[in-house]
Structure 1
Amino acid sequence: MTDPRETQLLATVPDGLHIGGHWRPATGGATLAVTDPATGDVVKNVADATPADGTAALDAACDAADHWAATPPRARGEILRRAFDLLTERADQVALLMTIEMGKPLAEARGEVTYGGEFLRWFSEEAPRIAGRYGVNPEGTGRMIVSRHPVGPCYLITPWNFPLAMATRKIAPALAAGCTAVVKPAEATPLTTMYLAQLLAEAGLPAGVLNVVTTSSPGPVSEAIIGDPRLRKLSFTGSTPVGRTLLRQAAGGVLRTSMELGGNAPFVVFEDADLDKAVQGALAAKFRNIGQACTAANRFLVHRSVAAEFTERVTKRVAEFRSGRGTEEGVTIGPLIDDAAVAKSASLVRDAVDRGAVLRLGGELVAGPGSFFPATVLGDVPAGSELLREEIFGPVLAVVPFDDEDEAVRLANDTEYGLVSYVYTRDLARGQRMIERLATGMMGLNLGVVSNAAAPFGGWKSSGLGREGGVEGIAEYLETKYTLTPDPFA
């Protein structure tokens, strides 16, 4: 690390566990290394928590729970708003920190700061809007009061691909609802969450309300926390297999759960689509975050009459991309998170080509240093190819021709996942039919990006449970109580 600006920034990030308002080392003093995926260099060593540390973090969350739940909603919201303002002021530093630890181009990291910050602002406004209802029971013999209450201490597990936004998308509604929390960021990208915790403390968040544990042993640490009867809520973003394991663990305590799991998004282009807009949407839906997003388009289903032209246009645009470290000017494709991600992308491309797909661009491994894989375009991908079933999580755009609307729907829905879909057509009636027929929790109609803090984010089928964002997001952290009182006029 030779850039003095980066060195100075990294020095401001804590390296301990954040428990009860204090930063402290892990039990036993172990540390884990955080590396820059563009170079392979270690950029910082941080505390490596044990299960005992996880329990200590939950202790702190439980100790703070009653006081935070009793804090007026307006006061909770104002803390989140101050955090939003601080984050906005320090957008450049946070964006650079994300690029260092995760690899995304700096321009995209700045966009994530804006997106992630919106969850702080949105839920700062939702906190004082938590409401119930009051009414006469149908028989007229009493009055029904329905009230909402914080669910209690939460365990929030975030992924590495959006280090800020995935943290604020869970932390902000939990705090707004009056819940305390333990957050475990991904081992590969913990620094942004640690910076955020420090920022929230500066904004006035009381000690113990938010605790952060970083660990290279997520299984044992999570088991200790999830198995504790004081925990009342689990929120996880990550792979479906890991989500299933966590759901089994959560069943023991009958925990409230939110699961944002895998995706296999279809991107459907009909023969009447505006191809200029479809190509632009395809680039955004596929290559945002280097393809490492659960909302990334995985299968490009294109009507046979325009498949060749669409593929040609996309290939021409992708050929203009520049790979490199995300801090470099003009870079659009940064590194993947690690070498295992590179190997997976390479394997999926090889399998498709071996089955008959046409490699139009990329596909070749890039010499190190760093975990790079080139932006790749495949045409005429045949049925049975692994990348049509698996979430690619890399910069690989795979085109599959189809002949009619029914076939497009069948291909789009032929997956265990149902997170998001994208459809391009000028036919409004067809667009409405696709809203009705595609089995996904979200859809972009003539748009390639759908995420918004004011909208409910989540999927159907094996893509998860619950919603994050929107008015629905805070409900995930609230319990409902019904009270019957006597008729006051009796």
Structure 2
Amino acid sequence: MLSIPVFVGFHPITFPNPRMTSIRPHFDNPELIRDAAFVNGEWVRSSGSTFEVTDPATGQVIAKLPDQPVAVVDEAIEAASNAFKSYRKTTTRQRSAWLRNLFNLMTENAQDLGKIVSWENGKPLAEAVGEVKYAASYFEWFAEEAPRVYGTVIQPANPSNRVFTERVPVGVCGIVCPWNFPSAMITRKAAPAFAAGCTVVLKPDSQTPLSALALAYLAQKAGFPPGVFNVVLSHTKTPEFGLKLCKSPKIRKVSFTGSTAVGKILMQQSASTLKKLSMELGGNAPFIVFEDADLDAAVAQALACKFRGMGQTCVCANRLYVQRTVMDKFSAKLANEVSKFVIGPGLQDNVTHGPLINAKAIQKVEEHVQDATEKGAKVVLAGGRLPELGDNFYAPTILSNVPSNARVNSEETFGPLCAITAFDTAEEVVKYANDTELGLASYVFSKNIDTVYTVAEALEAGMVSCNTGLFSEASIPFGGVKESGFGREGSLHGIEDYTVLKTITIGGLPERL
């Protein structure tokens, strides 16, 4: 087999040329690969135009799916609305059983589901399987939370009244998901919706729709009634699909993960029906390392945080602030570890990091690197395109002494650029960290509990992770503040966003005996 040398950081490594290798995974359960939308319990293959799903590692077409007309959204909404009438009346224990079935099915098919994620998204298989297991955990968690949606008893001033509250399902939910976690972004939203008694119309990203369709297939196998989970597909009409979900009076909630700019548009479009909204939007996470931190641990966590999915996650460290006294040491340690990355197609053995999702993503990384270096940043590790591997491959770049006015400090890169800025005091770095309209995740590293606690309190973010770069799990509330959105996914709070609080007052009762 022909091989080509690829230089990542300081170390030459060798790969079979993916342009000459057709990488189609073997699936133990080929039924997971679907070629149609899913509406009212039926697989819908609309006649007419199609769109292609490509492997970002090779550019090869891996699926052709129907580019459906906007009318299918109305059909899916109607199906979900009709299903809601009966689904909302199911017992919490019944819904819990269906959720548990779906968790079990995802777990049983984790390897195949991971291959689907890797195939359409590009992330390495081990990371993709990890995402699937994480995604499945939301069905397990909310299977346990479904019977635990409690109300309250209120003591009114009027002695002849009795007052109590209950949480009831909000109704039909429209869900719009991105490509970077094609499985987990769906389950974080759908699991609490199903648990609360809501039905769902899902629009997955057209770059990664196969994972969504596999979940629909498994939901059907798990026993969910027709119309409870609907998946609609489009590439050319995505804005029109979103508008339908926002404008329809039968959709009572919209949950969206994506950019702040698109989130604002969806909010405006939802205003006419005053829907309940959950928005998990852009991030610009600061990663703060104090001089007393365990530098080896901080480097290891920076690797896990910054380069997960090649930097294409909303909670990736975007701005690294390292105390000046240890910045050079930290930078050198980080560069040494990054230079060991094995970059290649995610389905190939031994690969640690895959491609970016498309050429536009690489262009943004390059623009941020050029801007920072022109403003005085120092190149610690020169990355760049890897055309020998494919159009979407990019070796990570590490910069130090990045000035505060660099674009990377005000814009989310969403790629493998590690931009390090020096700071001297806690007050200074908190000011840097909070100087953004976004506030999703942030990270603090120090052995001093006083520093950890006071800085964590001062950071304007929905989530602060201290001395670890990975914190997401089903039991933890996930969400942001400021222009990073509102609402929480996961945890005991996650189901609340799919319910409304109803107050019931009973009057004219006799005095208590």
Q: Name the SS for the 2:51 alignment partner.
A: strand
1:249 is displaced (CA, Å) by: 0.4
Q: Deviations over 1:26-82 (max 9, x none)?
A: 3x4221100000000000011212210111110110110111000101100110101
Question: Does 1:76 find its partner at 2:120?
Answer: no
Contact 1:51 1:222 in 2 (8 A): no
1:225 is displaced (CA, Å) by: 2.5
1:169 is displaced (CA, Å) by: 0.3
Question: Does 1:42 find its partner at 2:77?
Answer: no
Question: Does 1:227 find its partner at 2:227?
Answer: no
Residue 507 of structure 2 is matched in structure 1 by 486
Q: Deviations over 1:423-482 (max 9, x none)?
A: 001111111101210000001110101111111100010000111111111000001111
Closer, same or farther: CA 269–421 of 1 in aligned 2, 3 Å: same
Match of residue 453, structure 1, among 471, 474, 479 = 474
- Within 2, Cα distance between the matches of 1:5 and 1:307? 43
Moved more, 5-14 or 326-335: 5-14
Contact 2:312 2:415 in 1 (8 A): yes
Q: Name the SS for the 1:154 alignment partner.
A: strand
- State how 1:153-232 maps to structure 2 within 5 Å: 153-216=172-235, 217-232=237-252
Question: Does 1:343 find its partner at 2:363?
Answer: yes
Match of residue 30, structure 1, among 43, 49, 55 = 49
Residue 468 of structure 1 is matched in structure 2 by 489
- Within 2, Cα distance between the matches of 1:25 and 1:375? 41
- Structure 1 regions of 5+ residues with no counterpart? none
Question: Does 1:414 find its partner at 2:445?
Answer: no
Contact 1:349 1:363 in 2 (8 A): no
Moved more, 373-382 or 473-482: 373-382
1:134 is displaced (CA, Å) by: 2.0
Residue 265 of structure 1 is matched in structure 2 by 285
Tell me the TM-score normalized by structure 2: 0.93
Question: Does 1:88 find its partner at 2:107?
Answer: yes
Residue 17 of structure 2 is matched in structure 1 by none
- Within 2, Cα distance between the matches of 1:436 and 1:134? 34
Q: Name the SS for the 1:43 alignment partner.
A: strand
Q: Name the SS for the 1:67 alignment partner.
A: helix
Q: Name the SS for the 1:476 alignment partner.
A: helix
Closer, same or farther: CA 130–356 of 1 in aligned 2, 3 Å: same
> In the alignment, residue 469 of structure 1 is paired with which amino acid?
G
- Within 1, Cα distance between the matches of 2:278 and 2:177? 12
Residue 304 of structure 2 is matched in structure 1 by 284
Residue 148 of structure 1 is matched in structure 2 by 167
- Within 1, Cα distance between the matches of 2:140 and 2:381? 41
Question: Does 1:130 find its partner at 2:149?
Answer: yes
Q: Name the SS for the 1:470 alignment partner.
A: coil
1:364 is displaced (CA, Å) by: 2.0
- Within 1, Cα distance between the matches of 2:396 and 2:30? 30
Moved more, 248-257 or 222-231: 222-231
- Within 1, Cα distance between the matches of 2:384 and 2:241? 38
Q: Name the SS for the 2:68 alignment partner.
A: coil
> In the alignment, residue 458 of structure 1 is paired with which amino acid?
G
> In the alignment, residue 412 of structure 1 is paired with which amino acid?
A
Q: Name the SS for the 2:65 alignment partner.
A: strand
Residue 379 of structure 2 is matched in structure 1 by 359
Contact 1:37 1:336 in 2 (8 A): yes
Contact 1:443 1:450 in 2 (8 A): no
- Within 2, Cα distance between the matches of 1:77 and 1:68? 13
- Within 2, Cα distance between the matches of 1:5 and 1:413? 44
Closer, same or farther: CA 8–44 of 1 in aligned 2, 3 Å: farther
- Within 2, Cα distance between the matches of 1:163 and 1:460? 24
> In the alignment, residue 471 of structure 1 is paired with which amino acid?
L
Q: Deviations over 1:314-373 (max 9, x none)?
A: 000000111100111221120000111111111111111111111121332221524111
Contact 1:10 1:44 in 2 (8 A): no
Closer, same or farther: CA 5–300 of 1 in aligned 2, 3 Å: closer
Identity rate of aligned residues, in percent? 42
1:3 is displaced (CA, Å) by: 4.8
> In the alignment, residue 301 of structure 1 is paired with which amino acid?
Y
> In the alignment, residue 438 of structure 1 is paired with which amino acid?
L
Question: Does 1:432 find its partner at 2:439?
Answer: no
Residue 274 of structure 1 is matched in structure 2 by 294
- Structure 2 regions of 5+ residues with no counterpart? 1-20
Residue 373 of structure 1 is matched in structure 2 by 394
> In the alignment, residue 88 of structure 1 is paired with which amino acid?
T
- Within 2, Cα distance between the matches of 1:364 and 1:484? 65
Match of residue 303, structure 1, among 311, 319, 323 = 323
> In the alignment, residue 290 of structure 2 is paired with which amino acid?
F
Q: Name the SS for the 1:423 alignment partner.
A: strand
Match of residue 390, structure 1, among 411, 423, 445 = 411
Contact 1:35 1:188 in 2 (8 A): yes
Q: Deviations over 1:237-282 (max 9, x none)?
A: 0000000000000111100000000000000001111111111111
Contact 1:147 1:482 in 2 (8 A): yes
1:4 is displaced (CA, Å) by: 5.9
Question: Does 1:441 find its partner at 2:462?
Answer: yes
Q: Deviations over 1:352-401 (max 9, x none)?
A: 11111111213322215241111111111112111111111111111000
> In the alignment, residue 52 of structure 2 is paired with which amino acid?
A
Residue 347 of structure 2 is matched in structure 1 by 327
Q: Name the SS for the 1:452 alignment partner.
A: coil
- Within 1, Cα distance between the matches of 2:372 and 2:24? 44
Tell me the TM-score normalized by structure 1: 0.98
- Within 2, Cα distance between the matches of 1:359 and 1:93? 40
Q: Deviations over 1:70-127 (max 9, x none)?
A: 0101100110101000110111000011000000011111111111111010011111
- Within 1, Cα distance between the matches of 2:309 and 2:509? 59
Contact 2:25 2:115 in 1 (8 A): no
Closer, same or farther: CA 264–3 of 1 in aligned 2, 3 Å: closer
Q: Name the SS for the 2:307 alignment partner.
A: helix
- Within 2, Cα distance between the matches of 1:8 and 1:35? 21
Moved more, 427-436 or 409-418: 427-436
Closer, same or farther: CA 2–58 of 1 in aligned 2, 3 Å: same
